[in-house]
Amino acid sequence: MINIYEPCIKDYSKSAIDAIESGWISNHGKYVTESTNTLSKLLECEYVILMANGTCATHCLFLSIQYKYPKINKIYVPNNAYIAAWNSVLMCYDISNLCVMKMDIDTWNINTNEEYIKSLDTNSAILIVHNLGNIINVPRLKRLRPDLIFVEDNCEGFFGKYEGIYSGTSKDTLCSSISFYGNKIITTGEGGAFITNHKDIYDHIKKVYSQGMSYTRYLHDVHAYNYRMSNVQAAFLYDQLNDIDSILTIKKQIFDNYKELFQPLINDNKIALLKKEDYTENSHWIYAVRIINNKKSIEETNEFFKNLGVDIRPFFYPINYHGHLSSIENSDDVSYVLNKEIIMIPSSPNITIEEQLKVTDTIYQFILFNQNIKIVKINKENVKLLDKFILNINSNCFRYFNKRTSDCIKNHLFTFLFYDITNNIYFGYTHIDFYEKNWFGIYIDSNYRYKKIGNIILNYTLNCCKITNVLDINLSVDVNNEPAIRLYKKNGFMINEIKNNIIYMKKKL
């Protein structure tokens, strides 16, 4: 199983061991101070408070609103967001004070259309959640609505940027929260941080996050909490903060790899990636793709990937799906589409390119499965399926088997048949064989042509070549087969030569 996320913490345990050996294992110790100062300097923000986890820090966002703006009576909250965001606001406000924000089909975040933002009520606050690391341009929203109060749940957006500064650090934001949970870019297992540039907010939260002690020991003058981070957790954080450039470089490479691998599916409008806002830089936290027009249920989708050894997660559910929030009215159709079509895929910092190729391969298979098409890999055990298929091939369109039998698969790197589950018929075939060069062959039954199936099964086969480190692929096509020539050119095949009314083409992988 390729897991959705595996933290890389082993190389960042030196200071944690030092903290344990020193005996300073609670919230007292030098690493709490060192990590606080390092994080504040890195983010170029005024005040940082390390906390037990990201939800504690997010709760403190609403404690800050209540303290600074006690007359605020409406909180706008994103529809599809991790439940901790909603649970945190419910710690401070009644459900009647909450209003669900509409979602955007392209950014997978709240709708930030100018008309929509200007329609929001006065005397309100907005919880910004940077879903999956896609950054919302908060300074722009503040310019549109200077009367609104903005707080940021930056647990997924950590190290993203808007207008050249790190998300969560704008002076247009009252405060923000960060998570260092086990599946985040840097992790302390649990752990989080509260960020603000406002001293009065800092002073208030600094008191209420730590039991609300007065100047007299054991006398407490406010209702408070115990949200402190331990010195051991801060030590893990400290070592990672001091190697943050290499950590972020590795994560960016993983994202760049996926984007390149998925480009054929994007071009073919089979999947979509999230669209970023102007003047923002995304956080490379977890990669996700939207399977356009996914016909399978979330349960069917999860089961498919699980059976092929790939751990995925669905996108966050519409808010009214949660039991304790089912009374909330949700008329936003986009929220249901996003939940059904988006999947989060393995994005660990230690994922290999081979594993990324397998994830990509599985997504190709799922897209075909979504069209009720099954891929069957042919080998000597099931070669009789190929024998039956050969009998129905139009030999004028595909001459490969005119002088060959199915025994030729012993020279193939891959041989695939494509099966229409609905109509119970094998309709397509691809192979990669080797004869001085690697050659690609494809055949599609006439009833299945011009349905954009050829493009996806071609790219599925080419992706399999990448998995086995094949560097280039050759093919031949009749000069009068214009649809096939267009297909090959669309997918990067270049003409090498034309000889005896046959075009020879090549593609480098």
- What's the CATH code of the domain at 163? 3.40.640.10
* Claim to verify: residue 265 and residue 215 sit in the same structural domain: no
| Structure tokens, 29 | 């110790």
In a domain, 278, yes or no: yes
* Claim to verify: residue 322 and residue 377 sit in the same structural domain: no
Least confident of 5-9, 106-110, 421-425: 5-9
Q: What is the pLDDT of residue 105?
A: 98
Q: What is the pLDDT of residue 191?
A: 97
| Structure tokens, 45 | 């923000």
For residues 4-17, give the mean pLDDT: 93
In a domain, 4, yes or no: no
In a domain, 364, yes or no: no
3-state secondary structure 215-276: CCCCCECCCCCECECCHHHHHHHHHHHCCHHHHHHHHHHHHHHHHHHHHHHHHCCCEECCCC
* Claim to verify: residue 396 and residue 418 sit in the same structural domain: yes
In a domain, 36, yes or no: yes
Q: Who's near 319: CB < 8 A, 6+ residues apart?
A: 77, 79, 80, 81, 86, 100, 325, 328, 330, 335
pLDDT band, very low/low/confident/very high, at 298 (cuts 50, 70, 90): very high
Q: 167-212, pLDDT tens digit by residue?
A: 999 999 999 999 999 999 999 999 999 999 999 999 999 999 998 8
Task: Give how far the C-alpha of residue 74 lies from the chain's centroid of Cα atoms, to the nearest Å.
Answer: 30
In a domain, 1, yes or no: no
* Residue 285 to residue 417: CA distance in whole angstroms: 37
* Claim to verify: residue 128 and residue 193 sit in the same structural domain: yes
Report the CATH number that the domain containing residue 466 is assigned in CATH. Answer: 3.40.630.30
Pick the residue with more confidence: 436 or 256?
Answer: 256
Which of 306, 331, 358 is at the close of a domain?
Answer: 358
Residue 3 pLDDT more than 80?
A: yes
**Do residues 109 and 116 touch, judged by C-beta distance below 8 A?**
no
For residue 133, the surrounding DSSP H or E stretch is none
Question: Which residue, 190, 145, 195, 188, is CA-closest to 174?
Answer: 195
* Residue 129 to residue 316: CA distance in whole angstroms: 12
Q: 28-47, pLDDT tens digit by residue?
A: 999 999 999 999 999 999 99
Q: Torsion angle of alpha carbons 88, 90, 93, 95, nearest 10°?
A: 150
Q: What angle do CA 158, 4, 267 make, to 5 degrees?
A: 85
Beta strands 192-196 and 161-162, pairing class = unpaired
Beta strands 472-478 and 502-508, pairing class = antiparallel
Which of 218, 243, 268 is at the close of a domain?
Answer: 243
* Residue 233 to residue 185: CA distance in whole angstroms: 15
In a domain, 366, yes or no: no
372: which DSSP letter?
T
Q: What is the pLDDT of residue 444?
A: 95
* Claim to verify: residue 42 and residue 187 sit in the same structural domain: yes
Query: What three-state secondary structure class fits 93?
Result: coil
Residue given tokens 């001459």 in the structure block: 399
Q: What is the pLDDT of residue 213?
A: 81
* Claim to verify: residue 42 and residue 101 sit in the same structural domain: yes
**Do residues 424 and 456 touch, judged by C-beta distance below 8 A?**
no
Q: 385-410, pLDDT tens digit by residue?
A: 999 999 999 888 899 999 999 999 99
Residue 215 pLDDT more than 80?
A: no
* Claim to verify: residue 229 and residue 282 sit in the same structural domain: no
Task: Give how far the C-alpha of residue 250 lies from the chain's centroid of Cα atoms, to the nearest Å.
Answer: 16
The separation between the first and the last C-alpha atoms of the chain, rounded to the nearest angstrom, is: 26
* Claim to verify: residue 346 and residue 397 sit in the same structural domain: no
Q: What angle do CA 299, 80, 202 make, to 5 degrees?
A: 135
Report the CATH number that the domain containing residue 346 is assigned in CATH. Answer: 3.90.1150.10
In a domain, 345, yes or no: yes
* Claim to verify: residue 143 and residue 259 sit in the same structural domain: no
In a domain, 3, yes or no: no
| Structure tokens, 147 | 């009367």
* Residue 85 to residue 77: CA distance in whole angstroms: 8
* Claim to verify: residue 183 and residue 127 sit in the same structural domain: yes
* Residue 340 to residue 290: CA distance in whole angstroms: 9
Amino acid at 92: C
Q: What angle do CA 282, 288, 290 make, to 5 degrees?
A: 115
What is the span of the domain harbouring residue 237?
10-243
**Do residues 191 and 183 touch, judged by C-beta distance below 8 A?**
no
* Residue 148 to residue 282: CA distance in whole angstroms: 24
**Do residues 460 and 363 touch, judged by C-beta distance below 8 A?**
no
Rg (CA), the chain: 27
Q: What is the pLDDT of residue 5?
A: 96
* Residue 211 to residue 222: CA distance in whole angstroms: 8
Question: Which residue, 149, 155, 187, is CA-closest to 168?
Answer: 155
The domain tally of the chain equals 3
Question: Which residue, 311, 35, 45, 30, is CA-closest to 188?
Answer: 35
Q: What is the pLDDT of residue 453?
A: 92
* Claim to verify: residue 272 and residue 401 sit in the same structural domain: no
* Residue 72 to residue 84: CA distance in whole angstroms: 21
What separation in angstroms does the CA of 268 have from each of 92, 368, 370, 450, 451?
A: 47, 13, 15, 13, 12
pLDDT band, very low/low/confident/very high, at 218 (cuts 50, 70, 90): confident
What separation in angstroms does the CA of 363 have from each of 271, 344, 367, 467?
A: 9, 11, 6, 14
| Structure tokens, 484 | 């096939």
Q: What is the pLDDT of residue 468?
A: 84
Residue 329: φ, ψ to 5°:
-75, 130
Q: What is the pLDDT of residue 222?
A: 87
* Residue 140 to residue 148: CA distance in whole angstroms: 12
What separation in angstroms does the CA of 93 have from each of 72, 81, 148, 155, 357?
A: 10, 18, 17, 21, 46
Which of 323, 358, 393 is at the close of a domain?
Answer: 358
Q: What is the pLDDT of residue 176?
A: 98
Average pLDDT in the chain: 95
Question: Which residue, 392, 374, 71, 37, is CA-closest to 234?
Answer: 37
Residue 214 pLDDT more than 90?
A: no
pLDDT band, very low/low/confident/very high, at 219 (cuts 50, 70, 90): confident
* Claim to verify: residue 69 and residue 195 sit in the same structural domain: yes
Q: What is the pLDDT of residue 396?
A: 87
Q: 308-357, pLDDT tens digit by residue?
A: 999 999 999 999 999 999 999 999 999 999 999 999 999 999 999 999 99
Residue 152 pLDDT more than 90?
A: yes
Q: 444-497, pLDDT tens digit by residue?
A: 999 999 888 999 999 999 999 888 888 899 999 999 999 999 999 999 999 999
Task: Give how far the C-alpha of residue 118 lies from the chain's centroid of Cα atoms, to the nearest Å.
Answer: 30
